[in-house]
Structure 1
Amino acid sequence: MSGEARSAGPGIALAVLVGVSVTVLLGVYGKVHDPQFFSVNVAGFSSPVAVKSWLGSVAVLLAIGQVVSALIMYGKAGIAAPSWIGGVHAWAGRLAVLVSVPVAVHCLYALGFQDTTTRVLAHSLFGCFFYGIFVTKMLLLTRKGLPGWVVPVAGGLTFTGLTGLWLTSSLWFFQNNGLTF
C-alpha cells in the first residue's frame, strides 16, 4: 500500500463512519417518531404522495445527468470534457438533493420508518442509506490525496440509493395511479 493510500485511509474511514451514523440516526428517528401523516403538499398536486413522486423523479433525472457528466469528466464517455462540465455536474447534484429534501421531510415526519411490506421496508432502508452515503460523498470530496476510485464509488452508491428510492416509491406510485399530478 502506498504512503498516500495509507494516509487517506483514516479520512475515508471517518467519512464512512459519519455517513453510517447519519443512516442509523435517520432510521432510528423514523422508527421512534410518531408519524403525523401529513407534511408536504404543493398547490396543483392531488396529494403529498404525488408531490413526492414527481420531486423524486426530478431528482433521479438530475442524478442521471450527474452520471453522464461524471463519465465525461473522467474521460469514460469517449468525448473531450468541455470546461463547463464540472459546473453542470455540481449543480445537477445540488439540485437533485434540494428537490429530494421535501420528499425526505415528508417521509420521515409524516410516515416514519416503516416495514409493513417488503417494498415499504426497502424504501425506508434506501432513504436512510441515500442520505448517509450522500453525507459520506460530500465529506470525501473535501479530502485531498484520495485514491482515484473513492469518489466515483461514493457517487455510484449515492446514485444507487436514489435509484432504489425511486423504484420503490415513484415508479410504484405511477404504476398504480398513472402519471397523476
Structure 2
Amino acid sequence: MAIVLPVLIGAAVAVALGVYGRMHDPRFFSVNIAGFSSPTAVKSWLATLAFVLALGQVGSALAMYGKLPGLVAPRWIGTAHVWSGRLAVLASIPVAVHCLYALGFQDYESRVLLHSLFGCFFYGAFVAKMLLLTRKGLPGWVLPVAGGLVFTGLTGLWLTSSLWFFQNNGLIF
C-alpha cells in the first residue's frame, strides 16, 4: 500500500490533467518573456532548461547511488540533486500552464498527441515520486524507478516540443 496509493494518486493526476485539457475550451493566450522572439521560443528554452536540469538529476542520482565507477559522491551532491529538481519543475510550470490552459490536450497529429500524453504522464509521475519520497521503508528500487519515469516523461516532452521547434526554426531566442 505504501507504493500503490502514491502511484494511484499520480495516475489520477495524469488522467485529470488529460481530461481537463480535453474538455475545456483553449484560451490561446501566450506566455512571453522580454527578449524572446515568440511564446514558442520561450517555452522551448524553458523546457530545455528543465531538461538540462533533469540530466543533472540523473547524474547526481547515479553518484548518490554509487553507480559511477571510481567516483565518490561529494557531500553536497544531495543538496544539488534536490535543488536541480526543484528548479527543473519550476522551469516547467509556465510551459505546462500555457500548454494546458491555452492549447489543451491536442491530438491533430501524432507528435502533438504524444506531447499531450507525455505532459500528463510527466506530472502524474512527478506527483507519485513526491509522495513516495515521504514513505519510509520502501524497497531500494522504488525511488530510482520513479525518478526514471519522471525523467522519461520529461525527455518525451522535450523531444516532441523543444527539439522539434529547434529543428524546424533553428536555435532562436
Q: Choose the corresponding residue for 1:61, options 48, 52, 55.
A: 52
Alignment of 1:123-138 (within 5 A): 123-138=115-130
Q: Choose the corresponding residue for 2:154, options 155, 162, 173.
A: 162
**Contact 1:126–1:165 under 8 Å retained in 2:** yes
Structure 2: how far apart are the matches of 1:39 and 1:152?
36
| Secondary structure of residue in 1 paired with 2:3 | helix
Gaps of 5+ in 2: none
Q: Which residue of structure 1 aligns with residue 36 of structure 2?
A: 45
Matched, 1:18 2:9: yes
TM-score, normalised via structure 1 length:
0.94
Identity of aligned residues (%): 76
Q: Per-residue CA shift, 1:64-116, capped at 9, x if unaligned?
A: 00000000000001211111100000000000000000000000011000000
Structure 1: how far apart are the matches of 2:57 and 2:15?
26
**Contact 1:134–1:158 under 8 Å retained in 2:** yes
**Which structure 1 residue ranges, 4+ long, deviate > 6 Å from structure 2?**
none
Aligned length: 172
Structure 2: how far apart are the matches of 1:127 and 1:160?
11
TM-superposed deviation, 1:39: 3.3
Matched, 1:34 2:25: yes
Q: Which residue of structure 1 aligns with residue 66 of structure 2?
A: 75
| CA-atom RMSD in angstroms | 0.6
Matched, 1:114 2:106: yes
Q: Which residue of structure 1 aligns with residue 81 of structure 2?
A: 89
Gaps of 5+ in 1: 1-9
TM-score, normalised via structure 2 length:
0.98
